[in-house]
């Protein structure tokens, strides 16, 4: 147990401590692995000599649950965990999920909705003046006024609702150490207003240096055009080199001030973070329940990079990790791989080598390291920038080294490659080695849609680029003598997607000859450009109107069209084809999606008898099942 940070007062005392410096409260179970933000931040503080106690998933119904260690000397650190709690708890249709992969045994109900708010208010009931610092993706993406899909309204900054003092947003390593140093020096938390990568409250603007004053919370919560304008300013101020402080007024309650983001980690700093003494497993207290499911997915995966210059509009990475690529050295990654092979559960397979985008191993252009990313241009969209450096050489070299590690049988790439970046590479080497060594039968890619109009609103390349990728992929497979497939990931009901676009996607699925097992509806999560479009019906970057499919019935139609072969979807598919004026797709031809409805000869009056091509034995089984159910 000494290998883990203390989770009980007894464990704290066994270390000879009478008090901890920081109490770290997290909505996730305690997993000491660098894929968990709480593990990185707590180990980083420990490496600087701070005493940290962990309270994972406290029972928010009882304030005693956050009093395990008593009052910390410097402050409370609070995070909802690796996921936004609302995404963790609810599907896009707002139904409760059945499993929480970040809880022991996948058990649901071990954390509240919005833990950052609930835990912080729980702390304030007992510790009135102890500093509270929020972190993690939930707090990061809710740092200013934001549209909340689950409440269907604009909510205030999480600082206002939680009673916390600061937010350490983004990846947090730089800012949390500066915050700790400031508190250690005796500086009152209300005076800590100067640290990049933080958000704080104040009564006026005197502490903010030349801030951009955003529309007030009252304005953005009552006017969608104003909300879109405010979001556009925030979107253009996410780069650490060019961003300005942002100030949002809350009337008599003062201002929320967002400092510019912290600078990205250097490669040496990244290496140092991943070289901390993680146990790489869950706390033993979870063994009886079978451990933590989320760890199983990533235990034998390697993080190669952070950040993403892909710029997908439905992704929150721009607001959280940023667009500047940060990478670990080959030596650091190989060291972790060798350590991995010593694990008794390791079977010789490295499941992934990547990050937000697997094949990004360098900034898109060198100027980003000194001047930042462009505020009004994307690196890959709508087409690759002329300054984009497309080069897979470093990634190929890393993969070759990993394949040679003793005990490693195969190295997979599963976090996804950016297909337009692969197409832009003039060298075929990466594609050749990808299909030869790093997939097994299937490569998952994310074209997201086939309509160029929808892809435009997604910030994704045109469908033609994806088709070019597929041709090159097939050519590489032929050269290696393998029969491997590209399995596309599609999204329905994204802003800009009409029923006609959904039918176009269904036709493409038909021509591929497969039916997606799962279909993802667009999920409006906080602080993405697509979510702003969903709420306002406006593209915030150009001010133009956007069609948004919000009606649940229309969303169901769009989803059903992708799974048109499912008999349960027939009625929805038929309605979708009627709305789109595409009734020629109802018939017996090879291009038709569904068959005409025909009356059952055994029940002439039954209008819902289904397709005449349904085998009689299936109908019998279905009817028998219904009778048994009634009994």
Residues 34 and 38: their CA atoms lie apart, in Å, by: 8
Structure tokens at 351: 């499941």
Residues 157 and 155: their CA atoms lie apart, in Å, by: 7
Q: Are 476 and 486 spatial neighbours (Cβ–Cβ below 8 Å)?
A: no
Residues 256 and 211: their CA atoms lie apart, in Å, by: 11
Q: What are the residue ranges of helices labelled H in 379-538?
A: 393-403, 419-424, 429-437, 452-458, 463-480, 499-512, 529-536
Q: Are 131 and 147 spatial neighbours (Cβ–Cβ below 8 Å)?
A: no
Sequence-ordered strand ranges (E) for 335-437: 349-350, 352-354, 410-411
Q: What is the three-state SS of 247-287?
A: EEECHHHCEEEECCCCCCCCHHHHHHHHCCCCCCEECHHHH
Residues 456 and 462: their CA atoms lie apart, in Å, by: 8
Give, in order, the Cα–Cα distances in Å from 578 to each of 391, 493, 527, 573, 582: 47, 18, 36, 9, 6
What is the secondary structure of 29-55 as a DSSP string? Answer: --EESTTSHHHHHHHHHHHTT--EEEE
Residues 320 and 307: their CA atoms lie apart, in Å, by: 8
Angle between helical axes of 393-403 and 429-437 (0-180°, round to 10): 30
Query: How many CB atoms lie under 10 A from the CB of residue 201?
Result: 20
Please choose, from the candidates 137, 145, 141, 187, the residue with its C-alpha nearest in 3D space to the C-alpha of residue 165. 187
Residues 357 and 308: their CA atoms lie apart, in Å, by: 7
- Is residue 308 annotated as involved in ligand binding? yes
Give me the residues paired with residue 78 across strands. Answer: 25, 134
Give every CB contact of residue 98 below 8 A, 6+ residues apart in sequence. 108
Q: Are 41 and 176 spatial neighbours (Cβ–Cβ below 8 Å)?
A: yes
- Is residue 497 annotated as involved in ligand binding? no
Residues 286 and 293: their CA atoms lie apart, in Å, by: 11
Residues 158 and 143: their CA atoms lie apart, in Å, by: 6
Give every CB contact of residue 62 below 8 A, 6+ residues apart in sequence. none
Residues 561 and 510: their CA atoms lie apart, in Å, by: 10
Give me the residues paired with residue 132 across strands. Answer: 76
Return phi, psi of residue 468, to 5°.
Answer: -65, -40
Please choose, from the candidates 208, 191, 285, the residue with its C-alpha nearest in 3D space to the C-alpha of residue 249. 208
Residues 428 and 323: their CA atoms lie apart, in Å, by: 26
Q: Are 32 and 283 spatial neighbours (Cβ–Cβ below 8 Å)?
A: yes
Q: Are 477 and 519 spatial neighbours (Cβ–Cβ below 8 Å)?
A: no
- Is residue 315 annotated as involved in ligand binding? yes
Give every CB contact of residue 99 below 8 A, 6+ residues apart in sequence. 106, 108, 293
Residues in the chain: 631
Residues 132 and 437: their CA atoms lie apart, in Å, by: 48
Binding residues: 308, 312, 315
Binding residues for [4Fe-4S] cluster: 308, 312, 315
């Amino acid at each position: 147990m000494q290998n883990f940070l203390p989770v009980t007062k007894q464990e704290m005392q066994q270390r000879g401590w009478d008090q901890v410096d920081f109490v770290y409260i997290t909505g996730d179970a305690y997993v000491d692995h660098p894929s968990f933000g709480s593990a990185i931040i707590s180990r980083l503080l420990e490496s600087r000599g701070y005493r940290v106690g962990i309270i994972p998933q406290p029972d928010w119904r009882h304030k005693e649950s956050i009093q395990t260690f008593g009052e910390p000397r410097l402050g409370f650190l609070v995070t909802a965990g690796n996921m936004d709690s609302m995404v963790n708890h609810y599907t896009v249709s707002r139904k409760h999920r059945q499993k929480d992969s970040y809880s022991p045994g996948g058990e649901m109900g071990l954390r509240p909705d919005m833990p950052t708010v609930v835990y912080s208010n729980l702390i304030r009931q007992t510790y009135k003046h102890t500093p509270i610092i929020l972190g993690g993706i939930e707090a990061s993406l809710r740092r200013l006024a934001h549209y909340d899909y689950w409440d269907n309204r604009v909510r205030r900054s999480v600082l206002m609702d939680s009673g916390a003092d600061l937010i350490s947003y983004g990846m947090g390593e730089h800012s949390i150490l500066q915050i700790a140093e400031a508190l250690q020096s005796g500086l009152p938390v209300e005076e800590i207003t100067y640290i990049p990568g933080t958000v704080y409250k104040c009564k006026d603007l005197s502490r903010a240096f030349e801030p951009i004053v955003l529309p007030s919370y009252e304005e953005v919560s009552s006017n969608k055009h104003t909300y879109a304008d405010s979001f556009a300013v925030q979107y253009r101020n996410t780069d650490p080199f060019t961003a300005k402080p942002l100030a949002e007024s809350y009337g008599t309650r003062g201002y929320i001030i967002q400092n510019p983001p912290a600078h990205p980690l250097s490669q040496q700093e990244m290496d140092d973070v991943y070289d901390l003494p993680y146990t790489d497993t869950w706390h033993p207290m979870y063994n009886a329940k079978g451990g933590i499911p989320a760890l199983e997915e990533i235990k034998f995966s390697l993080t190669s990079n952070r950040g993403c210059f892909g710029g997908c509009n439905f992704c929150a990475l721009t607001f959280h990790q940023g667009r500047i690529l940060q990478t670990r050295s080959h030596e650091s990654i190989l060291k972790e791989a060798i350590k991995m092979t010593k694990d008794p559960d390791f079977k010789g397979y490295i499941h992934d080598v990547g990050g937000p985008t697997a094949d990004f191993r360098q900034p898109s252009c060198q100027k980003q390291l000194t001047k930042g990313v462009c505020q009004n241009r994307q690196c890959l969209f709508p087409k690759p920038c002329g300054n984009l450096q497309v080069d897979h050489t470093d990634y190929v070299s890393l993969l070759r080294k990993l394949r040679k590690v003793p005990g490693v049988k195969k190295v997979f790439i599963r976090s996804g490659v950016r297909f337009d970046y692969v197409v832009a590479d003039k060298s075929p080497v990466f594609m050749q080695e990808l299909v030869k060594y790093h997939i097994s039968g299937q490569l998952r890619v994310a074209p997201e849609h086939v309509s160029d109009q929808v892809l435009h609103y997604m910030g994704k390349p045109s469908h033609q680029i994806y088709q070019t990728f597929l041709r090159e992929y097939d050519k590489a497979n032929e050269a290696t003598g393998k029969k491997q497939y590209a399995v596309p990931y599609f999204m329905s009901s994204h802003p800009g997607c009409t029923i006609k676009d959904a039918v176009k996607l269904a036709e493409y699925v038909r021509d591929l000859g497969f039916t997606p097992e799962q279909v993802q509806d667009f999920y409006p999560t906080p602080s993405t450009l697509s979510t702003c479009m969903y709420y306002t019906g406006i593209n915030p970057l150009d001010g133009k109107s956007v069609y948004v499919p919000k009606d649940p019935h229309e969303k169901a139609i769009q989803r059903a069209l992708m799974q048109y072969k499912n008999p349960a979807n027939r009625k929805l598919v038929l309605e979708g084809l009627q709305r789109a004026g595409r009734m020629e797709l109802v018939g017996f031809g090879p291009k038709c999606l569904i068959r005409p409805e025909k009356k059952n000869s055994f029940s002439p009056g039954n209008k819902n008898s289904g397709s005449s091509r349904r085998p009689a034995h299936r109908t019998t089984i279905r009817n028998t099942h219904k009778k048994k159910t009634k009994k």
